[in-house]
Structure 1
Amino acid sequence: MFECLMYLFENYVHSEMDVMMENKILTDELSDAGFQKDAVFKALAWIEGLADMQERLDYSALSQQPVHSVRIFTDSECVKLDQDCRGFIYFLEKIGVLSAETREMVIERATQIESKSFSVDDLKWVVLMVLFNLPDQQAAFTQLEGLMFDEAGGTMH
């Protein structure tokens, strides 16, 4: 499922191609690319969940001053997001890449990823996918992209 999401992000969203094509066409194309239909359906459902969250988001709250509070993770979130992942989320919030609202979106979307292991590198992709389509988040998106990619060599950390 996660590999399918990354494929979609890299080949459709990040390249600014039309991702709003009919689900059947997209499903067939992803199946032709080697993804199992079950993974495709789960990835598309994950994207729909992200779109629903973006529709409900109060965009005026994104530009407000940061709230200085501590986020306590639930037991189920801690199972999915190890200490390194939780520390990275905290770091992104402290440097202004994530607001309280986008942090919650990231946590919710990350915990919905079906994967036996979930690393900080995986979390970085989730953050990119969450920030990509949010208005006024281009600077945060670019800042995270800079953290992910080595400027000199173009490699991921």
Structure 2
Amino acid sequence: MFEVLVYVYENYWQGDACPELHQLSRKLTAVGFEADEIQAALVWLNGLNIAAQNTQVGMPAGSQAGAPPVPTTASAPPGFQAQTAGSLRVYSVAEQDHLGAQALGFVSFLESSGVLPSHMREIVIDRAMAAPGDPLALDDLKIIVLMVYWSFGEEPDALVLDELCDDADFRVAH
């Protein structure tokens, strides 16, 4: 599935340039991906599209998708308050087991660095929980983060992009 997602990201780097899912399926088949990999990726992408659209609909007027949400009661669903700077995200046991320490640490790193707003973090967690792997590989999580940025029509900061695309196995400590 992740090879298909990387192909989609590389070939349709602007999310709005990506064809509808049924057309994308035909293009991926023509490229040579296996039917079960395509199906898994399309189901995953559909969930990503729904999550991104629902997040953008729930944002206050005048705020951008990549900007941290302004804490107002109008942007939060009834009965909930928007996340504040002092909020703490507690991960369920299922999330901890599926994501693993490395992936959770990386999400925390991105969030504390200010490059992964809370609304995007929740989509990353949701899509990571929908991905295969137990625990989820860190490289797979990085692809998920890239795809979440892609779904909002944003490109991460150059240093973040480097961190997401860099293969740490080939780094040499000096």
Instruction: Please give the TM-score of this superposition, normalised by the length of structure 2.
Output: 0.72
2:4 maps to what in 1?
Answer: 4
2:17 maps to what in 1?
Answer: 18
Q: Say yes or no: does 1:97 pair with 2:103.
A: no
In structure 2, distance between residues paired with 1:129 and 1:33? 20
What SS does the aligned partner of 2:43 have? helix
2:101 maps to what in 1?
Answer: 83
Question: Residue 52 and residue 15 in structure 1: after superposition, are their counterparts in 2 closer, same or farther (change >3 A)?
Answer: closer
Counterparts of residues 72-151 of structure 1 (less than 5 Å): 72-115=90-133, 118-134=136-152, 137-138=154-155, 140-149=156-165
- Whether the aligned pair in 2 keeps the contact of 1:131 and 1:141 (CA below 8 Å) is no
Question: Residue 87 and residue 142 in structure 1: after superposition, are their counterparts in 2 closer, same or farther (change >3 A)?
Answer: same
Letter paired with 1:74? S
* More RCO (CA 8 Å, sep 6+): 2
Using the TM superposition, give the Cα deviation of residue 145 of structure 1 relative to its aligned residue in structure 2, in angstroms. 0.3
Letter paired with 2:68? L
Tell me the number of residue pairs that the alignment of Structure 1 and Structure 2 aligns: 148
In structure 2, distance between residues paired with 1:45 and 1:114? 12
- Whether the aligned pair in 1 keeps the contact of 2:25 and 2:38 (CA below 8 Å) is yes
2:25 maps to what in 1?
Answer: 27
In structure 2, distance between residues paired with 1:116 and 1:100? 24
- Whether the aligned pair in 1 keeps the contact of 2:103 and 2:137 (CA below 8 Å) is yes
Using the TM superposition, give the Cα deviation of residue 39 of structure 1 relative to its aligned residue in structure 2, in angstroms. 1.8
Larger radius of gyration: 2
- Whether the aligned pair in 2 keeps the contact of 1:2 and 1:114 (CA below 8 Å) is no
Question: Residue 144 and residue 122 in structure 1: after superposition, are their counterparts in 2 closer, same or farther (change >3 A)?
Answer: same
Question: Residue 22 and residue 81 in structure 1: after superposition, are their counterparts in 2 closer, same or farther (change >3 A)?
Answer: closer
Q: Bigger CA drift: 56-65 or 76-85?
A: 56-65
In structure 1, distance between residues paired with 2:150 and 2:42? 16
Instruction: Please give the TM-score of this superposition, normalised by the length of structure 1.
Output: 0.79
Question: Residue 116 and residue 11 in structure 1: after superposition, are their counterparts in 2 closer, same or farther (change >3 A)?
Answer: farther
2:68 maps to what in 1?
Answer: 62
In structure 2, distance between residues paired with 1:101 and 1:147? 21
- Whether the aligned pair in 2 keeps the contact of 1:4 and 1:35 (CA below 8 Å) is yes
- Whether the aligned pair in 1 keeps the contact of 2:124 and 2:144 (CA below 8 Å) is yes
